[in-house]
Amino acid sequence: MKKLSLLRHAKSGWDDPVSRDFDRPLNDKGKRASKAIGAFIKDNDLAYDQILASPAVRVIETLEHVEEACGLSMEPTWDRKIYLASSATLLDVLRGANADAEHILMVGHNPGLEDLIFDLVPDDGSSEARDAVEQKYPTAALAEMNLDIESWEDIAENSGMLVRFTRPRDLDPELGPDYS
């Protein structure tokens, strides 16, 4: 049994005058949401054996704020393949993960992360968490799955069970869609 957590980067600033999407930084709401998720990680004693992350600026900044709030040392493996990746590409990245890692945190972008959940977790109507992801996988949301695999090389469709889906607004209503 392996565990996989997926963290979508926090809200970035579209009004920032950067020339490339890759370089967009977090906005203030994204910084607050990252810290809320970091506090959640600390409060729930979550720990990761390996962190795989997109090197986009908004992912780097998300992890910096999560690290600050949770007190864990976040030393990700930066992988350009994760940037705006499809579910299939994310599966390939996971198949190359550290064999000794029991719990991996992958930090990246939608729609790839959301699609990865749908590919890994069967739609059998029994998961309220999966239903919540179907409604929306917002920025800075953290999805946690148990995978019925012994090795990361064996990760495949329908091998997971979504055990928890935490959105920033679940932790602080001011981080919901009705607030700026």
Q: What is the pLDDT of residue 178?
A: 60
Over the Cα atoms of the chain, what is R_g? 15
The answer to whether residue 179 scores a pLDDT higher than 70 is no
The answer to whether residue 168 scores a pLDDT higher than 80 is yes
Q: Does domain 2-175 have CATH number 3.10.200.10?
A: no
CB 164 within 8 A of CB 40: no
The answer to whether residue 180 scores a pLDDT higher than 60 is no
Q: What is the pLDDT of residue 111?
A: 96
**Strand blocks (E) in the chain:** 2-8, 50-53, 77-78, 103-108, 142-147, 160-166
The two tokens of residue 136 are: 């929306």
| Residue 95 labelled as part of a binding site | no
Q: What percent of the chain has pLDDT over 90?
A: 84
Q: What is the pLDDT of residue 16?
A: 64
* 164 vs 144: CA distance, rounded Å: 5
* Pick from 148, 103, 155, 111: nearest CA to 133: 111
State pTM to two decimals.
Answer: 0.95
In angstroms, how far apart are the furthest CA atoms of the chain? 46
**Taking residues 11-28, what's their average pLDDT?**
84
Amino acid in the structure at residue 173: P
